[in-house]
């Protein structure tokens, strides 16, 4: 399966999770954290704070208005029906027990205040994705959020002052090893000084 990686803004958009077991609840919690409106459909599951809970057996009507659908039941035939209904409704669907049956997969994620690191594999190996995520997260360092916060104002300034080709090259430099070394040696001021020197060249 060929996949196109992207990050989706779900703020205020509806996601429907069918199945309130452990996998479904993780999906609900992650979607709520991303600002989505969430509808959980399961007649037996406990409600999740912040989510609309439909305590009914699944029906296609429950997908009305959904941007994303998550089929998380323990019934493969039902999950397949949910996937078909989601596509008919124009929504993208993730099938928990059969990644190839869905339209998208979920990566292994490491999230800090300012950085979201996600790792997926093309072979449907979540354990490998999780191991790679952990290695990458360990390499980020504890100061990654402060580094990202220092880069933000510099990016905004470069947008206003530098032509696109110069801006791209400088941002690559500032975000790379040279910029990180400057930040770790002297904080945001040192990073800004590096940008000034580079702009003056």
Q: Is 44 part of any domain?
A: yes
More confident residue, 131 or 100: 131
Q: Nearest 5°: CA angle at 107, between 101 and 109?
A: 155
User: 54, 87, 106: which is the final residue of a domain?
Assistant: 106
Token code pair at residue 191: 């990073």
Q: Is 4 part of any domain?
A: no
Q: Are residues 20 and 102 in the same domain?
A: yes
Q: Are residues 179 and 101 in the same domain?
A: no
Per-residue pLDDT tens digits for 102-139? 999 899 999 998 899 999 987 778 899 999 999 999 99
Q: Are residues 95 and 151 in the same domain?
A: no
Average pLDDT over residues 52-80: 98
Q: Are residues 87 and 148 in the same domain?
A: no
Q: Are residues 97 and 165 in the same domain?
A: no
Query: What rounded mean pLDDT belongs to the chain?
Result: 94
Average pLDDT over residues 86-114: 93
Q: Is 115 part of any domain?
A: no
Q: Is 56 part of any domain?
A: yes
**Nearest one of 97, 18, 93 to 56, comparing CA atoms:** 18
Q: If pLDDT is split at 50, 70 and 90, which confidence band does 145 have?
A: very high
User: 106, 135, 155: which is the final residue of a domain?
Assistant: 106
Distances (CA, A) of 121 to 1, 71, 103, 109, 166: 10, 21, 15, 13, 34
Number of domains observed in the structure of the chain: 2
Q: Are residues 44 and 100 in the same domain?
A: yes
3-state secondary structure of 95: strand
Q: Is 48 part of any domain?
A: yes
Q: Is 124 part of any domain?
A: no
More confident residue, 187 or 199: 187
Distances (CA, A) of 53 to 71, 126, 139: 15, 28, 40
For the chain, the farthest-separated pair of C-alpha atoms sits apart, in whole angstroms, at 66
Asked if pLDDT for residue 28 goes beyond 90, the answer is yes
Q: Say what the pLDDT of residue 102 is.
A: 93
Q: Is 137 part of any domain?
A: no
Token code pair at residue 41: 């459909």
Per-residue pLDDT tens digits for 148-157? 999 999 999 9
Per-residue pLDDT tens digits for 73-86? 999 999 999 999 99
Q: If pLDDT is split at 50, 70 and 90, which confidence band does 201 have?
A: low
Domain that residue 61 falls in? 14-106
Q: Say what the pLDDT of residue 126 is.
A: 86
């Amino acid at each position: 399966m060929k996949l196109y990686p992207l990050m989706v803004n779900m703020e205020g958009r509806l996601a429907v999770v069918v199945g309130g077991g452990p996998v479904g609840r993780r999906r609900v919690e992650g979607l709520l954290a991303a600002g989505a409106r969430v509808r959980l459909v399961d007649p037996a599951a406990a409600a999740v704070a912040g989510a609309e809970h439909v305590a009914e057996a699944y029906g296609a009507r429950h997908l009305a208005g959904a941007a994303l659908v998550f089929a998380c039941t323990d019934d493969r035939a039902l999950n397949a029906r949910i996937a078909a209904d989601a596509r008919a409704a124009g929504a993208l669907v993730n099938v928990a027990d059969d990644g190839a049956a869905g339209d998208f997969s979920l990566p292994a994620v490491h999230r800090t205040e300012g950085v979201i690191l996600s790792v997926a594999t093309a072979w449907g190996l979540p354990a490998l994705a999780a191991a790679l995520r952990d290695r990458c997260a360990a390499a980020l360092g504890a100061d990654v959020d402060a580094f990202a916060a220092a880069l933000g104002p510099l990016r905004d300034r470069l947008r206003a002052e530098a032509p696109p080709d110069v801006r791209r090259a400088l941002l690559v430099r500032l975000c790379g090893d040279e910029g990180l070394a400057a930040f770790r040696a002297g904080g945001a001021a040192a990073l800004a000084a590096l940008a000034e020197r580079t702009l003056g060249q």
